[in-house]
C-alpha cells in the first residue's frame, strides 16, 4: 500500500507502523497504515473518499486490546489530542472527546463537583472505548451517564445518537461496529467535591490491592457470565498462574493476563483460549473474551 492510494487528508499517515508500543500489553504487529486525523471533518473526508475500499480499524488507548502479531490490514485510525477536550454545556452536561482518557474525565468531574464519574478512575482506556463496550466497575457503567453519542459511519456521514438508540448491554452496545465515535454527551449532576474525591481514593486503593495494575496487562480478560465471576471459575479450574510462553494468568487476579516475559500476541491469545477450554471442561461454562482481539489471522 502506498500513499498514492490513500485519500488526501489534513492529518498524518505512517506506513508499516508498528503498533505494539501503543498497547498496554506491548505486543502486536504493524498497521499497513496508521492515520492520525486532524479533526472530525478530516475523518469524515477520509471516510467519504475511501468509501469502504480500504479496511478501517480504530484504536483508542490500547488498554483493552490484543493486536495480533501479523498486524492489521488497511488503515488504523488513532484519534489524538484534538479529540480529548471536555466542555461544560449550558445545562451542566459534559461534551467529551472520544479520545479523552476515562481517568482524566473522572478528575475533571471531581474538580468541578460533578458526581457519578468516580468509577472511571478504575477503568483504563478512553471514553470512546467505554461507550463501545459499556465499560463499568464498582457498580456503575457508561450507560448510567451517557445521554448521546456523536459518530461517523463508514461513508463519513455524521450523526448524533440518543442513549435510547445505543442499546447498551453488558459490556456491549447494539450500534453498528463500523461507527467511529467522536464525542459523547454525559449527564452532569452536582455533588460534593470532597465526597467524590474520597470515593475515587477508595476505588484506587481497592484496585491497586486486587489488580496487577503495574504489569503489562489488558484489564479483565473475560466478561463475567450471568450470575458468576470469571475469576472464580478460572481459579476453581486451577488456572491461577497458568502460563504459555511469556504470558501468565496473574496470581493476584486470575482474570488478568500479564505479559510477564516478552510474550507475543500469540502467547497471550493462546493462553486465553486454553483457559476458556479448561473452564468449560471444569464447569461447563463458556467464558467470553472481554478483551478485543484484532488483526490478521483470526483464529489461534
Catalytic amino acids?
Answer: 171, 220, 290
Closest among 174, 170, 171 to 161, alpha carbons compared: 174
Cβ neighbours of residue 205 closer than 8 Å, sequence gap 6 or more: none
Q: What angle do CA 137, 140, 142 make, to 5 degrees?
A: 95
CA dihedral 13, 83, 47, 76 (to 10 degrees): 50
Q: Residue 209: left (phi > 0), alpha (psi -120 to 50), or beta?
A: alpha
Contact by Cβ (8 Å): 62, 80: no
Q: How many Cα atoms occupy the beta-carbon half-sphere of 69 within 13 Å?
A: 11
| Cα–Cα distance, 59 to 298 (Å, whole number) | 17
Give dist(CA 163, CA 146) in Å, integer. Answer: 6
What is the β-pairing status of strands 65-67 and 292-294? parallel
Query: What secondary structure letter does DSSP report for 8?
Result: P
Amino acid at each position: 500500500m502506498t500513499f498514492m492510494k490513500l485519500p488526501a487528508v489534513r492529518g498524518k499517515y505512517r506506513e508499516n507502523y508498528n503498533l505494539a508500543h501503543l498497547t498496554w500489553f506491548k505486543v502486536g504487529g504493524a498497521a499497513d497504515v496508521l492515520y492520525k486525523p486532524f479533526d472530525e471533518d478530516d475523518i469524515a473526508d477520509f471516510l467519504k473518499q475511501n468509501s469502504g475500499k480500504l479496511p478501517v480499524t480504530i484504536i483508542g488507548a490500547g488498554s483493552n486490546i490484543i493486536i495480533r502479531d501479523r498486524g492489521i490490514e488497511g488503515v488504523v485510525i488513532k484519534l489524538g489530542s484534538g479529540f480529548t477536550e471536555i466542555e461544560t454545556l449550558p445545562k451542566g452536561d459534559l461534551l467529551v472527546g472520544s479520545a479523552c482518557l476515562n481517568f482524566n474525565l473522572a478528575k475533571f468531574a471531581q474538580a468541578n463537583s460533578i458526581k457519578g464519574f468516580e468509577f472511571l478512575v478504575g477503568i483504563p482506556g478512553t471514553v470512546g472505548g467505554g461507550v463501545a463496550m459499556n465499560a463499568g466497575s464498582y457498580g456503575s457503567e457508561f450507560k448510567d451517564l451517557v445521554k448521546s453519542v456523536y459518530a461517523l459511519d463508514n461513508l463519513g456521514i455524521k450523526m448524533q445518537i440518543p442513549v435510547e438508540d445505543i442499546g447498551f448491554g453488558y459490556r456491549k452496545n447494539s450500534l453498528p461496529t463500523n461507527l467511529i465515535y467522536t464525542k459523547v454527551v454525559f449527564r452532569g449532576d452536582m455533588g460534593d467535591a470532597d465526597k467524590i474525591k474520597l470515593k475515587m481514593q477508595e476505588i484506587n486503593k481497592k484496585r491497586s490491592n486486587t489488580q496487577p495494575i503495574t504489569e503489562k496487562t489488558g484489564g479483565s480478560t473475560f466478561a463475567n457470565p450471568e450470575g458468576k465471576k470469571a475469576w472464580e471459575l478460572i481459579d476453581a479450574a486451577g488456572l491461577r498462574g497458568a502460563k504459555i510462553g511469556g504470558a501468565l494468568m496473574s496470581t493476584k487476579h486470575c482474570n488478568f493476563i500479564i505479559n510477564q516475559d516478552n510474550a507475543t500476541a500469540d502467547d497471550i491469545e493462546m493462553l486465553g483460549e486454553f483457559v476458556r477450554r479448561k473452564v468449560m471442561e471444569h464447569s461447563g461454562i463458556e467464558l467470553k473474551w472481554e478483551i478485543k482481539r484484532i488483526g490478521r489471522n483470526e483464529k489461534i
